[in-house]
Amino acid sequence: MKQTRQDFFTANGEGIKIMTFTEFARHILRMECGESLELYAVVNRQTRECSRPLSVRKEQWNGTPFYLLGGHGQEVRTINFAGRPKEEFETTCHDVLDSYDAVESIGAVVSRLRELSPEELHKRIAEEMKTGCKYLLVYRSEEEMTAALDGKIYAINDTDGKFLCDLYQPDYLHLENGGDIVDTASIPDMHFHSDWAIANPTVRDKVLSSRMVIIYTHETVTL
């Protein structure tokens, strides 16, 4: 199945994607027989709290696929879709989710955080320090980093348009004011992957000396 990015992580490291009932129905239609999905019938985006866990699994009997939904102490219900139009299948999913007290949306578990071993984390830190950086910050996940540094990190391109490094806001402002970094919109006939680039190769080492590195203590494992 196509990978689905989480909206947030729970305290226990589950990556939750909030789906409407219709999105859920379309998502499970793409599942293969034998594949399962963990979910929560009740989900709160603001508090990141999830309750009433469920599982849905696609099975097959005499060549006919069907779904089993429930478990975790909840009653198991069957969803059939053979020969049904898509709209009727979606309506059936809506009705079944309603029976578990879901309201308009559910929280699907699409990823989990795997904690790096001390050896793995040490190796990553050592590799980054070997290449040189001004800042080396450690966060549990990209989500936590974004919450702490949103709008304070700037991606800088090299003169060939490729990524060069990330800069922390104070250093970006200093280098931009000094003319070492320029707006890529002012450079014609070049394709850049971000809005800022070094002015010329002579300032490359100067910019790299302010390089910022982010390391995560957990890896996101897509389910």
Judge residue 212's burial from the number of C-beta atoms within 10 Å of its C-beta, 0-12 exposed, 13-18 middle, 19 or more buried.
buried
pLDDT in tens, 30-57: 999 999 999 999 999 999 999 999 999 9
d(CA 92, CA 111): 26
Beta strands in the chain (DSSP E): 8-9, 14-20, 36-44, 49-61, 64-71, 74-80, 105-115, 135-139, 153-157, 163-168, 181-183, 196-198, 211-216, 218-222
Cα torsion angle, 60, 63, 65, 68, sign: negative
pLDDT at 195: 87
Q: What is the pTM of this model?
A: 0.81
pLDDT at 124: 95
Higher confidence at residue 84 or residue 166? 166
pLDDT at 63: 87
Greatest distance between any 2 Cα atoms in the chain: 72
Let me know: does 22 contact 87? Beta carbons within 8 Å.
no
How high is the mean pLDDT of the chain?
92
Q: At 10, phi and psi to the nearest 5?
A: -80, 175
Q: Count CA atoms closer than 13 A to 89's CA, side-chain side.
A: 18
pLDDT at 2: 57
Buried b (16+ CB within 10 A) or exposed e, 129-149: eeeebeeeeebebebebeeeb
Work out the angle between the directed axes of helices 86-98 and 21-29 (0-180°, nearest 10). 120
- Mean predicted confidence (pLDDT) in 80-109: 92
Listing DSSP states for 136-158 in one string gives EEEESSHHHHHHHHTTSEEEEE-
d(CA 157, CA 196): 6
Least confident of 61-65, 81-85, 154-158: 81-85
Residue 103: is its pLDDT beyond 70?
yes
Q: Structural domain boundaries of the chain?
A: 8-112, 116-222
